[in-house]
Structure 1
Amino acid sequence: MGRNLTGTEAFLRSVHPYDALAAEEFSGIYRAFLPLDVAAGEAIYGLGDELPGLFLIVTGEIEVTDANGVQVSALGPRNSFGERGLLREGRAVTAARALSDAQLLVLPKDTFHTLVRNNRAFARYFDRARPSRSGTRDLAEMRLRDLMAPNPLSCSADTSVQRAAQAMREAHVSSIAVTEGRRLQGILTVRDLASRIVAQGLPSETPVADVMTRNPVSLSPEDLGSDVLQLMLERRIGHVPVTEGGDLRGIITQTDLTRHQAISSAVVISDIAQASSVEALVPFTKLIPQVLAQLVAAGKPHDVITRLITDIGDAVTRRLLKLGEDALGAPPVSYLWLACGSQGRREQTGVSDQDNCLILSDDVAEVDMAYFHALAKFVSDGLDACGYFYCPGDMMATNPRWCQPVRVWRRYFEGWIATPDSEAQMLASVMFDLRPIAGDTALFDGLQDDTLAKASRNSIFVSHMVANSLGHQPPLSLLRGFATIRSGEHKNTIDLKHNGVVPVVDLGRLYALQGRLTHANTRARLLEAKAKGVISATGAKDLIDAYDLIATTRLEHQAHQIKHGDAPDNYMAPSSLSDFERGHLRDAFVVVRTMQSAIGHGKGALG
């Protein structure tokens, strides 16, 4: 490919992030690119090679493979590669070769690094580091799009005040927007009904247009919480419409602001601790989606959000145990209630079933078992009533198999380690995430340490755990895209749980096994694995950054659903993301697949 500056300029103007560069900066960049032609089958660089710069594909297809020769990407026109190595020591962390004749552009590494240093947007595009927005924001700093109630109640101007009042009552709101199509014309509040209708004795058939506040002051979704606070204080109003280009987008009330300030995980937990019955607990657990959405909007890190959400689940469990003991009497012997799964790892989100078990003192007699079966049923039924649904796999203390004395639990673990069949692998994976919730923790201490020691020494068991962990693969297609679900209710989406966070959870569990690490939380496991040398510093940084992005994307997806009145789930359409977001999410999945490949080839994460 000859050096055609005009053609290079036109091509780069169609590629992000170059299309977003300022004119002067762009002029210098497109002149810096060097052309490179490669033939089908030709190696572009190998693992560990010094990289000349960032590669950009103009035509053709390029294969990128990891240290084990496993393909992690098949890239086409407008895709870049080589940035991971450039952002490290300048040496390739993958290998690349041409699958077909290809024309490339190479941005010299010095120019690339200058751009990374001087252009924040450019640096952010090529760096997968944990989002910097993860700091705490108070209400005054939050955007109204994160505070407003979307899809507010509305009516036309010719609606009668009686019908408008009935609609407000049915929707349990204190105002109704008056619109023509989506255009905001006015607003009617409960206070208006009292002062302008009832006080003046107007008939119930009076049109809303006669008494509404016309052309009310409004704010945009991008305005801040401080703007709405100031407006409400200055104008002495309690309702502020949120509009965009004159179209109604939402509404914010004083109640919304008060609720945002008042509802927190700490407040919910305090209320839970005082609940006198299962029925009294239910209203508090119904606040969990709102707490989650609020924490996401405040920019909290994903591991902080899931920890706070899990704290609520722990509090509910402890309260139910106390209520159960009050109803059944004191337990005949000591016991320990433990959580496994996402609650055990402190990684609960807006979608959680229950996974739990009971460890009993070896002093338990057969006659005592009726008490613990009744206690387990009381707690599990209560959790289900509170929105923590029964485990589809029956991994609950109500299953007699998971309500046993210490000696039986010790026998379980020894058997799973000695005979690691498929069921043993599944059960061991769940049980390695056990965390005490309430009761006598001494019943678990020795069991956990002994099990980790025996499991880590059994190479056959570890090999089976490795194979089992590779059952969940990131949703990557061969081309630079996502492998979405092809049919059914969730067609054209990706599962951010089973194909997103679970592959990293599995890796974290393996590192914990190899290093005999006692943390149950995935991010804490990765950090401890790095500190103990189980995983290399560079491998840990890449994997933690990838996990942060995937887990944050999952929570943002759920928060978006909650804000729009939908039940949260884990199925996200990639089309809902920007090109920038899709590119980075896919890069995160590539990192996870690379780490899976490394551990699958017996190299751990040290390569």
Structure 2
Amino acid sequence: MALSTEMIADFLQSVHPYDSLERAERHALAARITPQTYAPGDDIYELGQGLEALFIIYRGEVAIRDETSAPLSQLSKRNSFGERALMRGGVAATSARALGDTVLLALPTADFMALQKSSAAARRFFDRTPAPQPAKPSLATQRVDSLMSTPALCCTPEDSAQQAARIMRDARVSALCVTEGETLQGIVTNRDLSGKILAEARDFATPVSQIMTPAPVTLPPSAIGSDVLHLMMERRIGHVPIVAAGKLVGIVTQTDLTRVQAVNSGEIVAEIARANSAEQMALVTARIPQLLMQLTASGLSHNVVTRLITDIADAATRCLLALGEAKLGPPPVPYLWLACGSQGRQEQTGVSDQDNCLILHDDMRPEDDVYFEALANFVCDGLNTCGYVYCPGDMMAREARWRQPLQVWRSYFETWIATPDKEAQMLASVMFDLRAIGGDASLFADLQSSTLENASKNSIFVSHMIANSLTHTPPLGLFRGFATLRDREHKNRIDMKHNGVVPVLDLGRVYALQGGLAQVNTRARLEAAAAAGVLSRSGGADLLAAYDFIAQTRLEHQAKQIKAGQAPDNFLAPSSLPDFERSHLRDAFVVVKTMQSALGHGRGMLG
């Protein structure tokens, strides 16, 4: 079939981004295109072959495969391919084969590059990096190191209360960090001076060590402003020291926060911290869907929105722990409440159940479990009341198996690593996402580091974890590159959780395991893996961009449902997306599948 320039130009008018071109520009571009015909089974190009053109499917279907010939994507009319190779020097990292009688339109590399320079629509379409976020200052996006006062004003534990007061008066500050060398020992505030010295008529020579708050809560420089806000609201404090590698590097005060606008999540955290029952908290957490919609609509990235949403769950959990202790009395031995799943990774969206466990001090006696069972039931029931429904798999502290002394937890991890059967792989996957929420954090610190070290050194366990991570695959198939669900309830939709973000979560967990990396958040794991050389920088950049697009699309889908008065879910109809977003989503899934294939064949360093 001979194609004239006019026919090609008419066809391009129905394909984005060429439909954005002026008629004369589109006609000139069509004149540079060469039609190519392929029979069923013909190779269009092979792995490692140099490409000299971008391909647009005019008719037929094309299978894209990785270097092991595993299918990555099946493309049809109006889809394009080859652009990634052209942007990376022209060498194909995949192969392409015609599945039927196929006609392709080949746009030479020089014209493809010129098109991107001349057309903003083309640049946006072929650019695989995330869209830049608004530059407007916001607590939700500003790192603490850009907010904190540095250097922090300090005194020593031996300094007198009067000396501390004079330092604060002269510097016009309301608090001092109490240090020995560079190590933070405590914090002393104006409130301490008035409430413990003046109000009690104590000697002005009283050492600061006797009136300070010892071992105050701190944050790292990598925290964001909303972390400070939520901490202040929940703990009712006005000063948060910033500590890196055990050394004091600055302090953030309420005054510092007035320079940027607080997000609504801070109000929700504050209301939860003041609640006296789960029922009161439930009235507050009912506003989470509206908050998610507002945060997403404001242009915040998925990782910031989910961080803010997770902060609310953390605050609710700690408040319930405090209410539980008030009801049951002090715990018989120290304990630590931990979250796993999306809360553990700080990735909660509008659809979240609860996943949690308890680590108890080894001094506990069997009869002490009566207390901790009651506490666990109180907190889990309260979370369920607040909308964090019970885990379908019973991965909760109210189950005796997940409420054990530290030595039992050590034996759990040792057994899972030594005998990585299917259940062990599943449990290890969940438990590698643990994050301390409330209680004695020292119960987890050594367990986390030693488990990670032992697991990363066990090649058999790592191999099993890799195999387990490949069980969730991106939804690539026949329908414009997507494999949609067939069940009646979700027909022609894709599961943006299990086939969207979960494959990337699994990859991030394995990369962290391979590199012995302590990060739990998926994005942080991918960044750390690239920095540590577990992933190549280009491979890491591709996977980060793909993850961002998939996760952002999922979040925006939920925000649209909430806006329409619907309950948010994870089931997205590809047909509901514009061509631009649908094409980019497909390309993001192709990247994920390529990285899965590389990991499965021992090539985690895919460039």
State the TM-score, normalizing by the size of structure 2.
0.77
**In the aligned structure 1, how far is the partner of 2:9 from the partner of 2:112?**
17
- The equivalent of 1:224 in structure 2 is none
Q: Is the 8 A contact 1:62 1:76 kept in 2?
A: yes
Q: Is the 8 A contact 1:136 1:300 kept in 2?
A: no
Q: CA offsets, 1:41-91, max 9 Å, x none?
A: 333222232220211122333221112221112223322110111122332
**In the aligned structure 1, how far is the partner of 2:95 from the partner of 2:262?**
53
**In the aligned structure 1, how far is the partner of 2:86 from the partner of 2:134?**
26
Q: CA offsets, 1:166-185, max 9 Å, x none?
A: xxxxxxxxxxxxxxxxxxxx
Q: CA offsets, 1:319-342, max 9 Å, x none?
A: 110111111111111111100000
Residues 1:525 and 2:525 aligned together: yes
Q: CA offsets, 1:382-432, max 9 Å, x none?
A: 101100001010000000100111100000000001111111111000000
Shift of 1:595: 1.1
- Give the counterpart letter for 1:360 in structure 2: L
- The equivalent of 1:344 in structure 2 is 344
- The equivalent of 2:130 in structure 1 is 130
- The equivalent of 2:478 in structure 1 is 478
**In the aligned structure 1, how far is the partner of 2:76 from the partner of 2:496?**
25
- Give the counterpart letter for 1:71 in structure 2: P
- The equivalent of 1:404 in structure 2 is 404
Q: Secondary structure at the match of 1:7?
A: helix
Q: Is the 8 A contact 2:307 2:347 kept in 1?
A: yes
- The equivalent of 1:278 in structure 2 is 278
**In the aligned structure 2, how far is the partner of 1:484 from the partner of 1:8?**
31
CA RMSD of aligned residues (A): 1.8
- Give the counterpart letter for 1:388 in structure 2: Y
- The equivalent of 2:389 in structure 1 is 389
Shift of 1:97: 2.5
Q: Secondary structure at the match of 1:416?
A: helix
**In the aligned structure 2, how far is the partner of 1:563 from the partner of 1:104?**
41
Residues 1:359 and 2:359 aligned together: yes
- Give the counterpart letter for 1:47 in structure 2: L
Q: Is the 8 A contact 1:57 1:105 kept in 2?
A: yes
Q: Secondary structure at the match of 2:354?
A: coil
**In the aligned structure 2, how far is the partner of 1:326 from the partner of 1:500?**
42
- Give the counterpart letter for 1:26 in structure 2: R
**In the aligned structure 2, how far is the partner of 1:332 from the partner of 1:470?**
43
Q: CA offsets, 1:307-357, max 9 Å, x none?
A: 000000000001110111111111111111100000000000011110000
Deviates more, 1:59-68 or 1:541-550: 59-68
Shift of 1:262: 8.6
Shift of 1:479: 5.0
Q: Secondary structure at the match of 1:306?
A: helix
- The equivalent of 1:54 in structure 2 is 54
- Give the counterpart letter for 1:439 in structure 2: G
- The equivalent of 2:511 in structure 1 is 511
Q: Secondary structure at the match of 2:55?
A: strand
- The equivalent of 1:368 in structure 2 is 368
Residues 1:429 and 2:429 aligned together: yes
Residues 1:75 and 2:75 aligned together: yes
Q: Secondary structure at the match of 2:300?
A: coil
Alignment of 1:218-297 (within 5 A): 264-297=264-297
Q: Is the 8 A contact 2:265 2:312 kept in 1?
A: yes
Shift of 1:442: 1.0
**In the aligned structure 1, how far is the partner of 2:512 from the partner of 2:349?**
23
- The equivalent of 2:41 in structure 1 is 41
Deviates more, 1:20-29 or 1:349-358: 20-29
**In the aligned structure 1, how far is the partner of 2:137 from the partner of 2:104?**
44
- Distance verdict in 2 for CA 1:569–1:137, change over 3 Å: farther
- Give the counterpart letter for 1:367 in structure 2: E
Residues 1:13 and 2:16 aligned together: no
Q: Secondary structure at the match of 1:553?
A: helix
Residues 1:335 and 2:335 aligned together: yes
Residues 1:588 and 2:588 aligned together: yes
- The equivalent of 1:442 in structure 2 is 442
Alignment of 1:127-206 (within 5 A): 127-133=127-133, 136=136
**In the aligned structure 2, how far is the partner of 1:64 from the partner of 1:135?**
38
- The equivalent of 1:245 in structure 2 is none
**In the aligned structure 2, how far is the partner of 1:411 from the partner of 1:55?**
56
Q: Is the 8 A contact 1:68 1:598 kept in 2?
A: no
Deviates more, 1:305-314 or 1:564-573: 564-573
**In the aligned structure 2, how far is the partner of 1:6 from the partner of 1:130?**
35
Q: Is the 8 A contact 2:307 2:348 kept in 1?
A: yes
Q: Is the 8 A contact 2:74 2:481 kept in 1?
A: no
**Which structure 2 segments of 5+ residues have no match?**
139-260
Deviates more, 1:478-487 or 1:73-82: 478-487
- Distance verdict in 2 for CA 1:451–1:69, change over 3 Å: same
**In the aligned structure 2, how far is the partner of 1:451 from the partner of 1:339?**
17
Residues 1:414 and 2:420 aligned together: no
Q: Is the 8 A contact 1:263 1:291 kept in 2?
A: no
- The equivalent of 1:463 in structure 2 is 463
**In the aligned structure 2, how far is the partner of 1:576 from the partner of 1:411?**
49
